[in-house]
Amino acid sequence: MCGIGGIVSFNNSEIDQKLSDDIKNSLNHRGPDHSLTKKIHQNCTFVHSRLAIIDLNPRSNQPFSTDDNKYHIVFNGEIFNYKELRSELSSLGYKFKSEGDTEVLLAGYQHFGEAILNKLIGQFAFVIADYNKNHYFMARDRIGLKPLYFSISNQYLVFSSEFNALNASDLVNFSPNKEAYVSYLRHLAVPNGSTGNENIQKVQPGEFIVVDLEGNLKKELYWDPFDYVTEKDITRTEAVDRLDELLKSSVEYRKISDVEVGLYLSGGLDSTLIGSLLAADTKIKSFNVDYDEIFDGYRGEYQEAKFSADQIEVDLIHKSISFEEFKSIISDYSFLQDDLIGDEVGIPLYFLGKLTKSNGLKVVQVGEGADELFYGYEHWLRFAKLYKSTPKMQKSTAKNNFKSHRANLLLNIIQNNNPFPGGALGFNLAQIKQLVEFDFANNSNLINYSDNLWENYLSREDFSITKWMTLIDLKIRLPELLLMRMDKLSMQSGVEARVPFLDHRIVEFVLSLPENIIFDLKRTKPLLKELSTRHIPEKVLNRKKQGFRAPISNWIQRDPDYFFDRIYEFNSSYNFFNKKELNKTLKGGDVQKIWYIYNLSSWHLSRMVK
């Protein structure tokens, strides 16, 4: 895991070394083991900050180039099946001088071109300068575990693992993206390759982009979860056996490392199952954080984690976060989270990364993604029951204007409009229209991204409302919110998170399963729980789900003026919110919504200062 960056000049001018160094310095927290800017051509500089995990020898440092200097790569992530690929390429005549996955990836691109992407098992974002074809090749892994941002403007291509590195560059101006801000208020993230800066884009999950020497680009999705159709011919026993095989393989792949691998352990089913497989043949360290106070409705997960650690025989290292520690980072938090995401769980993740690093580890496995794949949320079950029991009318194109979530939900179900725009929901569109000071287009591709996907999916013969819930979260909530908070906040400490449940082979298999095997209206995660009986105690399986949370409401209520002042500062400088509706929302008692507005305000203000 690393930080990558680079600058390309399309007018063939020489790259200012200071500009490249600024990007490198911004990324050093991601790769504290080695950092380098390399001039690979007069008009191109690549940047790499390395977190050394596979082949710790300096021979695997990046940027990495072929001997003939026709190919150059900067790569963030891990290719877990690199040994198999290396063997295949060796049989084709390739000679290797390192023992790492970077050289294998570059050789694979040399031989297979873009088709190498379909051979990779891993989590990755990389850029290759291909002077054989005279273009630059950028790619992101299928699920979107690793980020890649870029900007093409003023005769330059600038790219990086982090938004902040581009935003700090003198080559990229900050221009607030109002549609992205609205999309954030709706989804708590910005999908569809956009960001909060109109001048910065993201490579989307499962996408590669080719940029020629004049700055023209071509985008192509090489993987899309919506491409998978349901297979009927499988029994439950066969499904459990196949899932067992795939998950064991995924965990084994994610053990590949020349440094110690640990575990983020909440004590719930997902992380305990991963831990059981991970610790099957060796003693490992696991990490857990909670809070030094008990809050209304949430007491932390330490007792659950301790119980699970004892059951699967792993060491547990724990820390309690204090309110003072929260206050110490809150002013910088929107900068630390990097991208415009609205989930406060990044706060405990930040401290979890610090705890892991201080105990000498820089690789962990995590249970992210299981809830979305295997239906782990009670509210998903309630929604599915409501959808299946509600009669449908002829489809309507009318936009609902009810501010009530429940009224909107019910009417959308009845009218066959999109009733589930994703598992993360901040404000509905009716609320946003009243809250913001300007009119936004009803047909915005960014704001209505999930609605447009719904229209296409609704017409499919294999339409399933439960499958839709997983698919839309694979498009928005997972890659642009949950996985980005994990990447950005763990990597603040130089800690790589590996996500076994989101191995693309598992995702593809789950998407192919019929509803009667993977979904049950009466209980969460039926298939995963059946599998888990083979590996973990029943006491863990039947424990009530609590979830990993941050007590943001309690913290805000201790000092509301701090948060309100930041919001008013943003609005007075940018005039984004209607003042009357804003005041009504801030005084309305929904503290979670105050957090979403504060986070947007703070994110915007921190990007205005270079």
Fold designation for 259-374+477-539: Rossmann fold (3.40.50)
Strand order in the sheet with 262-264: 315-321, 285-291, 262-264, 363-365, 496-498
pLDDT of 397 reads: 64
Which pLDDT tens digit goes with each residue over 470-499? 999 999 999 999 999 999 999 999 999 999
Going from N- to C-terminal start, the domains of the chain cover 2-223, 259-374+477-539, 378-422+425-475, 553-607
pLDDT at residue 460 tops 90: yes
Which pLDDT tens digit goes with each residue over 254-297? 999 999 999 999 999 999 999 999 998 889 999 999 988 877 76
pLDDT of 1 reads: 67
pLDDT of 300 reads: 72
Task: Locate 228 and state its tokens.
Answer: 């998978």
pLDDT at residue 298 tops 80: no
Query: pLDDT band at residue 115, thresholds of 50, 70 and 90?
Result: very high
Instruction: Please state the pTM of the whole predicted model.
Output: 0.96
% the chain with pLDDT above 90: 83
Which pLDDT tens digit goes with each residue over 342-396? 989 999 999 999 999 999 999 999 999 999 999 999 999 999 999 999 998 876 6
pLDDT of 537 reads: 85
Tell me how far apart the alpha carbons of residues 166 and 443 are, in angstroms, rounded to a whole number.
29
pLDDT of 610 reads: 58
Tell me how far apart the alpha carbons of residues 138 and 556 are, in angstroms, rounded to a whole number.
41
Query: pLDDT band at residue 121, thresholds of 50, 70 and 90?
Result: very high
- Cβ 355 vs Cβ 492: under 8 Å: no
Q: Residue written as tokens 């990097």? A: 338
**What CA–CA distances, in Å, run from 51 to 34, 48, 100, 447?**
7, 10, 13, 36
pLDDT of 589 reads: 84
* Mean per-residue pLDDT, 148-170: 93
φ and ψ at residue 5, rounded to 5 degrees: -165, 175
pLDDT at residue 227 tops 90: yes
pLDDT of 297 reads: 64
pLDDT of 295 reads: 74
pLDDT at residue 552 tops 80: yes
pLDDT at residue 176 tops 70: yes
> Does residue 553 or residue 542 have the better pLDDT?
553
CATH of 2-223, one of 3.60.20.10, 3.40.50.300, 3.40.190.10, 1.10.357.10: 3.60.20.10
Which pLDDT tens digit goes with each residue over 496-522? 999 999 999 999 999 999 999 999 999
pLDDT of 543 reads: 73
Tell me how far apart the alpha carbons of residues 502 and 142 are, in angstroms, rounded to a whole number.
10
Task: Locate 589 and state its tokens.
Answer: 């008692």
Q: For 445-499, where are the alpha helices, taking DSSP H only?
A: 449-458, 465-475, 477, 483-491
Query: pLDDT band at residue 579, thresholds of 50, 70 and 90?
Result: very high
